[in-house]
Chains A and B, each alone.
Chain A
Amino acid sequence: MKEGLRQSMAWLHTWVGLLFGWLLFAVFVTGTTAYFQDEITRWMQPEIAGERNLDASAEGALAYMKTHAQGAESWTIQLPNERSVAAMGYWKEKGETFRQWRDHAFMVDGQGRKVDARDTTGGWLLYRLHFDLHYVPVLWGRWAVGLAAMFMLVAIVSGVITHKKIFADFFTMRFGKGQRSWLDAHNLTAVLALPFHFMITYTGLVTLMSQYMPWGIPAAYEHPADYYRDHLGAGEPPKRSGIEAPMASLSDMIRQAREHWQGAEPGFIAIALPGDAHAVVKITQDTGAAMGTRGETLSFDAATGAMRRLPPVKGGASQTESVMVGLHAGRFAPLALRWLYFFSGVMGSAMVATGLVLWTAKRRQQLPDPLRPHVGFRLVEKLNIATISGLPCGIAVYFIANRLLPTGIPARVAWEAHWLFIGWGGVMLYVFLRPPRRAWVEALAIAATAFLAVPLVDAATTDRGMLRSLLAGDLVFVAFDACMLVTAAAFGWAAWTVHRRPAATRHATRRGKEAVA
């Protein structure tokens, strides 16, 4: 313990950053895409077009379930928000678990018509990847991401302490200077978006606090269900009366809700025991209607259409949580602010990526024999390449799979997700088979090609390609394709830069050796 605070913090920062860096990169990248989750979903369901109309799609979804889901336990309608078009309806039959909802899900457009859109999880998959991961039980995924987030906080604090000249280097970015440049880039992306990094990590932990810090609930509540009732407005479920009763006008209940919220829109409608005299309609405010994301839920007697007693006003702690989660997810953000969120997310991803690369850049010179790095160094270098270019590449492959997988094949949704990991895994395998420097260039080039292919495949397989969308004034599709092209250009530029970079001695020798061999 003779070494100073700064050295020990540097050690902590280095190893925590390395250990969780790959996971954090995936969390940052998928989280960044999640700010445009609804736009991604729209792009991934090109069959759905037109304008949103809340009331028409609510009535349309209701009418569909009246004909197809009589006697179900519950009907649910997820209404479109400001950035989407279609509503999604689903029902739960008696004895089914909530997770089976996908079996009875359907989409309704702004005119209340059911649309046969391709089966996809859309932007939702990337959003869920952000905190649930994939192929592992949700709880494990959340523990892993939570652990990474907690150590992210450690890395932020230790990073600030380690950074010697946080103000003197504030605007400093020197290109083409090897390790120095990587450090500049890491500092720049970290320091200039520091408020975002700190906010997003802290509030991210808050989103899942009842899992990470569950002890508060049993300390204050005898029954955990009471906590959820108070906090989330989940009331007692109604009991079936056995007497049939037609439902009053849903549009009128929506109107009452709007009036009560002074114009804020509803986002979610859940009807318990539809068709029964005891049926209850619950209307929840759109999560994007205010900065606090947990909007109020109003209950109505389905048979009479009358509003039941108002939910209790939330306490300070509850409202603070709601705002923190809202600040994290940015659902309230209008378009300009949404782009700022996206930009900050890109900065975060770049911060993690440059930090990972810095680990190798720093150690390369100190290797006893740079030609034969030890196995740990090689593993880190390969994992860096495989993650930094592989995951984005996988996302591009996911988009391409959305266009190329035939509609109606069994488990289409699962296969779209599999393709994300096939794309990522493919790059990883490739990277492990190639010498590091070539692996960088080629993996980055593969990612660039994949992103370039997205708008091309889109134009070839749908009638909503970039040019047509531009002519039709469909800015969501134009912007999506433009983002793909910009990402392709960024990866292409990175590949080109690595390719052209004057090879260090070690590379020159290595290539010499390859030429001989």
Chain B
Amino acid sequence: MVLCLPIAIVGFMGLCLGMSRHQRDVLGRVLSPMRSALCKAFGWTALASSFALAIARDGAAMGAVYWAGMLSLAAVLVALWTTWFSRR
């Protein structure tokens, strides 16, 4: 849980920064398709690792429940993070 949540947040940040709309908001410029793809790949890898970590710690059943709940929290935090940028 302690490590899982930050990893999921970073993962969603990666996915988010792979999208041109959010690149404009957060970075102020649009990344090349190559870099966007890299961001996305990184994001998916991080999300997958957070899942693996949750399963390793709490077992398949409990880990999956934890992970699903945590995923929602992480995604909301990242959405608010991009919103904060777009409002500035």
Residues on A close to B: CB < 8 A? 168, 170-175, 188, 192-193, 195-196, 199, 291, 327, 333, 336-337, 340-341, 343-344, 347
Contact of A196 among B21, B69, B80 (CB under 8 A): B69
CB pair B68–A196 under 8 Å, yes or no, is yes
CB pair B22–A171 under 8 Å, yes or no, is yes
- Shortest beta-carbon distance from B58 to chain A in Å: 9
Interface flag for B39 (CB, 8 Å): no
The residues of A that contact B15 with a CB separation of less than 8 Å are 170
Contact of A173 among B62, B73, B83 (CB under 8 A): B83
Sample of 14 further A-B pairs with CB below 8 A, known A171-B75, A175-B83: A171-B12, A171-B19, A171-B78, A172-B82, A173-B83, A174-B86, A188-B79, A192-B75, A196-B72, A199-B68, A337-B65, A337-B69, A340-B66, A347-B76
Main secondary structure of the interface of B (DSSP, over half): helix
CB pair B79–A172 under 8 Å, yes or no, is yes
The residues of A that contact B76 with a CB separation of less than 8 Å are 188, 192-193, 347
- Shortest beta-carbon distance from B81 to chain A in Å: 8
**B window 41-88: CB within 8 A of A:** 61-62, 65-66, 68-73, 75-76, 78-80, 82-83, 86-87
- What is the chain A residue whose CB lies nearest that of B69? A340
Known: A340-B73, A343-B72. A171 touches B79 (CB 8 A): yes
Give chain B's interface residue range (CB within 8 Å of chain A).
20 to 34
CB pair A341–B61 under 8 Å, yes or no, is no
Once bound together, how far apart are the Cα atoms of A33 and B6, in whole Å?
27
29 pairs across A/B with beta carbons < 8 Å?
Answer: A168-B19, A170-B15, A170-B75, A171-B22, A171-B75, A172-B79, A172-B82, A173-B83, A174-B86, A192-B72, A192-B79, A193-B76, A195-B68, A195-B71, A195-B72, A196-B68, A199-B68, A291-B65, A336-B1, A336-B66, A337-B66, A337-B69, A340-B70, A340-B72, A340-B73, A343-B69, A343-B72, A343-B73, A347-B72
The residues of A that contact B87 with a CB separation of less than 8 Å are 175
Interface flag for B16 (CB, 8 Å): yes
The residues of A that contact B1 with a CB separation of less than 8 Å are 336
- Shortest beta-carbon distance from B44 to chain A in Å: 13
- What is the chain A residue whose CB lies nearest that of B72? A193
The residues of B that contact A199 with a CB separation of less than 8 Å are 68
CB pair A327–B65 under 8 Å, yes or no, is yes
**B window 1-37: CB within 8 A of A:** 1, 12, 15-16, 19, 21-22
Once bound together, how far apart are the Cα atoms of A291 and B73, in whole Å?
22
The residues of B that contact A168 with a CB separation of less than 8 Å are 19, 21
- What is the chain B residue whose CB lies nearest that of A330? B65
- Shortest beta-carbon distance from B55 to chain A in Å: 14
- Shortest beta-carbon distance from B50 to chain A in Å: 14
Once bound together, how far apart are the Cα atoms of A174 and B82, in whole Å?
10
CB pair B79–A341 under 8 Å, yes or no, is no
- Please indicate which of the listed interface residues B1, B19, B79, B82 has the most CB atoms of chain A within 10 Å of its own CB: B79
- Shortest beta-carbon distance from A500 to chain B in Å: 15
The residues of B that contact A341 with a CB separation of less than 8 Å are 69
The residues of A that contact B83 with a CB separation of less than 8 Å are 173-175
Ranked 8 nearest A-B pairs via Cβ: A340-B69, A193-B72, A192-B75, A171-B79, A173-B83, A195-B68, A171-B16, A171-B82
- Shortest beta-carbon distance from A390 to chain B in Å: 26
The residues of B that contact A195 with a CB separation of less than 8 Å are 68, 71-72
CB pair A291–B61 under 8 Å, yes or no, is yes
The residues of B that contact A347 with a CB separation of less than 8 Å are 72, 76
The residues of A that contact B86 with a CB separation of less than 8 Å are 174
CB pair B69–A344 under 8 Å, yes or no, is yes
- Shortest beta-carbon distance from A484 to chain B in Å: 22
- Shortest beta-carbon distance from A264 to chain B in Å: 15
Contact of A291 among B22, B62, B69, B72 (CB under 8 A): B62
CB pair A172–B73 under 8 Å, yes or no, is no
Once bound together, how far apart are the Cα atoms of A341 and B79, in whole Å?
19
Once bound together, how far apart are the Cα atoms of A337 and B61, in whole Å?
13
- Shortest beta-carbon distance from B30 to chain A in Å: 15
The residues of B that contact A336 with a CB separation of less than 8 Å are 1, 66
The residues of A that contact B72 with a CB separation of less than 8 Å are 192-193, 195-196, 340, 343-344, 347
Once bound together, how far apart are the Cα atoms of A188 and B65, in whole Å?
20
- Shortest beta-carbon distance from B37 to chain A in Å: 15
- What is the chain B residue whose CB lies nearest that of A199? B68
The residues of B that contact A340 with a CB separation of less than 8 Å are 66, 69-70, 72-73
Once bound together, how far apart are the Cα atoms of A337 and B72, in whole Å?
12
The residues of B that contact A333 with a CB separation of less than 8 Å are 65
